[in-house]
Amino acid sequence: MSERADERLQKVLARAGIASRRQSEKMISEGRVKVNGQTVTEMGTRVDIGGDLIEIDGRPISRPEEKVYLLLNKPSGFITSLDDPRGRPKVVDLVKDLPYRLYPVGRLDMETEGLLLLTNDGDLCYRLSHPRFGVEKTYQANVLGVPSAQKLKTLEQGMVLEDGPTAPARVRVIGQEAGNGILLVTIHEGRKRQVRRMLETIGHPVMRLKRTQYGFLDLKGVKVGSYRRLTEEEVTRLHGLAAGEVKPLRHKTKKEAAVRRKGFD
Ligand code: URA
């Protein structure tokens, strides 16, 4: 058994669709299961589905690909596309120590920083990216000048961009630096350069943009350029998000205050 032996043999067999948990236990006790060439009859033996060769009656079981879910803190200057004829740095380069083909959930502009999910779970990736399930995304935007309350209202009511009207956004000025505003903008759509275009349209172009939240997830503890795996509980919640319908945006003062404290790294 390899060093990463971390799941009970009968559970692995059941999950691989070989048999029910009970039937799997029976096969083990009957001596029909081998791990790395050795017959295993002890119930609860731990194995690594990725590294151990598991055979039943001499036939290896096929390994379902492990599903991987990562939360990356994207630096500016990396593209989310998987291929680039111009050879620019790619976000997938930042996770190439892992032996999986991972895809970004949605996209961020090359210059945008912050929270990006990566996974090899194609179904979840598709559903989370679909506007129907519109997950709330919050961006911290440093803009030129400080928008008036009236202009912020335009964003909150929904505005017309060249590719159509936007849904209402949640917007708040959380600070100022040398006469320029720092805003939190929450949207649940994912149109190309949407936040930049919205702010440009009200006359306050974005100088720096960072996604600080994706649904219930934030960047806590993840340094720029690094990533962490989502916990099982987070993955379950993410599946829940992907199954839900869009809820109307409303202000969440406490959360926003927390995002504000984190600020840019
Ligand atoms: N909105 C933008 O303008 N850019 C991003 O990268 C994400 C949202």
- pLDDT tens digits, 158-177: 999 999 999 999 999 999 99
Would residue 109 show up in a list of annotated catalytic residues for this protein? yes
What is the spatial distance between Cα 110 and Cα 79, in angstroms, rounded to a whole number?
Answer: 5
Q: Does residue 255 register a pLDDT over 60? A: no
Q: Is 24 part of a structural domain of the chain?
A: yes
Give the mean pLDDT of 60-80: 90
Q: Residues 92-122: pLDDT tens digits?
A: 999 998 878 899 999 999 999 999 999 999 9
* Contact status, residue 63 vs residue 17, Cβ threshold 8 Å: no
Q: Are residues 174 and 123 in the same domain?
A: yes
Q: Is 2 part of a structural domain of the chain?
A: no
Q: Residues 200-216: pLDDT tens digits?
A: 999 999 999 999 999 99
Q: Which atom from ligand 1 is nearest to the alpha carbon of 112?
A: 6
What is the spatial distance between Cα 160 and Cα 163, in angstroms, rounded to a whole number?
Answer: 8
What is the spatial distance between Cα 64 and Cα 71, in angstroms, rounded to a whole number?
Answer: 22
Q: Does residue 263 register a pLDDT over 50? A: no
Q: Does residue 145 register a pLDDT over 70? A: yes
Q: Determine the residue of 137, 193, 198, 199 to mutate for testing ligand 1's pocket, defined as the one with the most ligand atoms within 8 A of the Cβ atom.
A: 193
Residue 5 is predicted with a pLDDT of: 59
* Range(s) of the domain holding residue 128: 69-264
Q: Is 77 part of a structural domain of the chain?
A: yes
As for how many domains the chain has, the answer is 2
Residue 150, classed as helix, strand or coil, is helix
The letter for the amino acid at 129 is S
Catalytic residue among 109, 121, 163, 265: 109
What is the spatial distance between Cα 40 and Cα 1, in angstroms, rounded to a whole number?
Answer: 11
